[in-house]
Amino acid sequence: MAARDSKSSHPSRDDHQGLAVSLTAVSKTYRSGVGESVNAVDAVTLDIPPGQSLAITGRSGSGKSTLLHLIGAMDVPDEGQITIDGADIARLRDSERAALRRRIGFVFQRFHLLPALTALDNVLAPVIPYRTDFDKVTRARDLLGAVGLADRVKHLPSQLSGGEQQRVAIARALINHPGIVLADEPTGNLDTHTGAEIVAVLDRLRTERGLTLLVATHDASIAASCDRTLVLSDGRIVSDSD
């Protein structure tokens, strides 16, 4: 699917360092279907050091996904400031914000794999439009090996189990050497055993690669595996513990 790049697939030392995240009085309000205001995120102040794993928990509608979308520069806050690696997201130009998003890996509950593409090509998909300083195909193969799918590179998503599809999604999230990975209910569509395997993969890769990892989850076992747990209710932090 992609031409091979001439440069090495090995990342530089900086590629193995997580990024710091800081939020100051961040709020995001939406309008409901009946015209009422909903405070999805309400005056959240939070500092996440590089390399930390943070579980974001709370009931459905508590603001977990919205908070991840704001940190991932997929949405912008109505109030407050978000900085990643010292850069204020709101002050970035569109091109700079797009470049920042390429330093962030996303893993979702729904795997979002392209059904007509092999596992290898799904991992490659985010970098196809861009020049890279690493060999794309070698990097994608290495990542599939890292998530235990070295023998599944030519398989289509329909030929993979749910757990295998999520492993492909994790490999895809890492293709750009991100400093942060944001995972939104990554085990929500998986059984308990498979979900535990996915959590173990995420934690191992975070440790090996020095990633900052933020996981929105309802699963207490996932929260327990993280360095720190944040509990949200109605968009506000009600508990922050390690």
CATH number, domain containing residue 158: 3.40.50.300
The predicted structure's pLDDT at residue 1? 36
The predicted structure's pLDDT at residue 16? 54
Residues spanned by the domain of 147? 18-241
- The DSSP code for 218 is S
Residue 111 falls within a domain, yes or no? yes
What is each CA distance from 197 to 12, 41, 45, 53, 64, in whole angstroms?
Answer: 28, 31, 32, 17, 22
Pairwise CA distance, residues 193 & 240, whole Å: 27
Asked whether the whole model's pTM tops 0.75, one would answer: yes
Residue 176 falls within a domain, yes or no? yes
Low-confidence ranges of the chain (pLDDT < 70): 1-16, 33
Q: With the CA atoms of 189, 227, 126 and 134 taken in that order, what torsion angle do they form, in degrees rounded to the nearest 10?
A: -140
Q: How many CB atoms lie within 10 A of CB 102?
A: 15
The predicted structure's pLDDT at residue 111? 87
The predicted structure's pLDDT at residue 222? 87
The predicted structure's pLDDT at residue 220? 87
Pairwise CA distance, residues 210 & 213, whole Å: 9
Residue in the block written with tokens 């995240």? 21
Pairwise CA distance, residues 44 & 231, whole Å: 12
Pairwise CA distance, residues 195 & 181, whole Å: 17
Residue 213 falls within a domain, yes or no? yes
The predicted structure's pLDDT at residue 131? 86
Residue 100 falls within a domain, yes or no? yes
Pairwise CA distance, residues 176 & 208, whole Å: 16
Residue 137 falls within a domain, yes or no? yes
Domain count, the chain: 1
H/E stretch holding 46: strand 37-48
Pairwise CA distance, residues 180 & 235, whole Å: 22
Residue 146 falls within a domain, yes or no? yes
Residue 38 falls within a domain, yes or no? yes
Q: For residue 182, which amino acid is it?
A: L
Residue 13 falls within a domain, yes or no? no
